A = this chain, B = another copy of it.
Amino acid sequence: MIVCPGEDLAPWIRSLKGLDPALAIRVWPDVADVTEIEFALVWNHPPGELRRYPNLKCIASLGAGVDRILGDSELPRGVPVTKVVDAALMRAMTEYVALAVLNHYRDMDRYRRDQERQQWAPRFPRPREAMAIGIMGLGQLGADSAAKLRDMGFAVGGWSRTPKQIDGVESFHGSEQLTRFLSRTDVLICLLPLTPQTRGILNRGTFQGLRRGSYVINVARGGHLVEEDLVEALDTGQLSGACLDVFREEPLPARHPFWVHPRILVTPHVSSLTDPDAVAPQILENYRRVMAGDPPLYQVDVERGY
């Protein structure tokens, strides 16, 4: 069963059927017999819905995030939840992050504003190593972005719940090291999973802990950001700008202040789109595994939240 309200599912069905033409696929809500469903491919499902299927053996997220699934208080217990782990998805995410960092480092938004005012004002960029990057979240995506930005010559630090080691990256962990991490950061990048502990972590206190004039990039989840606090920090000059790809409500509603804020760059959740052709093989592999009674790949820890 595919439960993805509002998504165009044709590419997914084409990719899955292309790999296994005999695969029986039901598209929610068009499911006559709930006992028939053993595997659910899920994105933005209606809370409570998944407990209606007594023979469900696996809940597979269509993307890397599982916060919407785990946020369902009526999720059937004991059914494994899996996420997508995909090299192309990681590459796209790291590319978006590198682009957002370079756009800021090379003053491109300032030059765009100069162009609007027909002003020719070259500026020498500061030394690369003087713009400290701080990455929140050092899972697969965060670690890959950290390594890439380190290779580009930036001073990179990372912060995660538990200690992590990445060559050439200054690592911090736990709430007790958050202040030190923030105080050495000029560009804050959020790549955390969204859990009850990380919800709203991009807030006034966090922004005040950064160096003055810092830049914020959020490519994780809209729920990480306290939107009012961002606008306040931009208006006081504590932050110089932000690049946001995710929002509390998506699509970003009409008349939301982010649309027109001169220091906020809005992109419509495109930092890393899941490619059905790239991901269908691992979905199918997990389908086969659970049907054979084996544990699925890329299972998330439901208690930990990612």
Chain A residues in the interface with B (C-beta under 8 A): 91-92, 95-96, 98-99, 102-103, 106-108, 111-112, 114-115, 118, 120-125, 152-153, 250-252, 254-255, 259-260, 265-270, 273, 275
Closest chain-B Cβ to A114's Cβ sits at a distance in Å of 7
Q: How far is the CA of A92 from the CA of B121 in the complex (A)?
A: 18
Whether A108 lies near B267 (C-beta < 8 A) is: yes
Q: B120 touching A270 by the CB < 8 A rule? A: no
The residue that A269 contacts in the complex, of B107, B122, B259, with Cβ under 8 A, is B122
A91-B153, A122-B268 are known contacts; what are 19 more A-B pairs with Cβ within 8 Å? A92-B125, A95-B106, A95-B152, A98-B102, A108-B267, A111-B268, A112-B112, A112-B265, A115-B265, A120-B251, A120-B252, A120-B268, A121-B268, A122-B269, A122-B273, A123-B270, A124-B273, A124-B275, A125-B273
Max chain B C-beta neighbours (<10 A), residue from A108, A112, A121, A250: A108
How many copies make up the complex?
A: 2
Task: Kindly identify which residue among B102, B112, B251 contacts A95, using a CB–CB cutoff of 8 Å.
Answer: B102
Q: How far is the CA of A123 from the CA of B91 in the complex (A)?
A: 17
| B-side contacts of A255, CB under 8 Å | 118
B95 near A259: Cβ-Cβ < 8 Å: no
CB-based nearest B residue for A92: B125
Q: What's the minimum C-beta distance from A144 to chain B, rounded to whole angstroms?
A: 14
Cβ A106 vs Cβ B268 within 8 A = no
- Whole-angstrom distance between the alpha carbons of A152 and B94 in the complex? 11
Q: A118 vs B102: C-alpha distance in the bound complex, in angstroms?
A: 25
Whole-angstrom distance between the Cβ of A46 and the nearest chain B Cβ: 22
Q: When the two chains form their complex, are residues B102 and A267 in contact, meaning their CB atoms are under 8 A apart?
A: no
Counting chain B CB atoms within 10 Å of each CB, the highest count among A95, A111, A120 belongs to A120
Are A106 and B99 in contact (CB-based, < 8 A)?
yes
**Alpha-carbon separation in the docked complex, A95 to B98 (Å):** 11
- A95: chain B residues at CB < 8 Å are 102, 106, 152
Given the known interface contacts A120-B251, A120-B252, A273-B122, the answer about A259 and B115 at a Cβ–Cβ threshold of 8 Å is yes
The answer to whether A106 touches B265, judged by C-beta atoms less than 8 angstroms apart, is no
CB pair B111 A267 closer than 8 Å: yes
Residues of B within 8 A of A123 (CB): 270
Complex Cα distance, B238 from A261, in Å, reads: 33
Q: How far is the CA of A108 from the CA of B270 in the complex (A)?
A: 10
Bound CA–CA A259/B112 (angstroms) = 10
Bound complex: CA of A118 vs CA of B247, how far in Å?
14
Bound-state Cα–Cα, A288 to B164, Å: 51
> Nearest 9 pairs between A and B by C-beta?
A120-B251, A122-B268, A99-B102, A118-B259, A120-B268, A115-B266, A122-B270, A111-B267, A124-B273
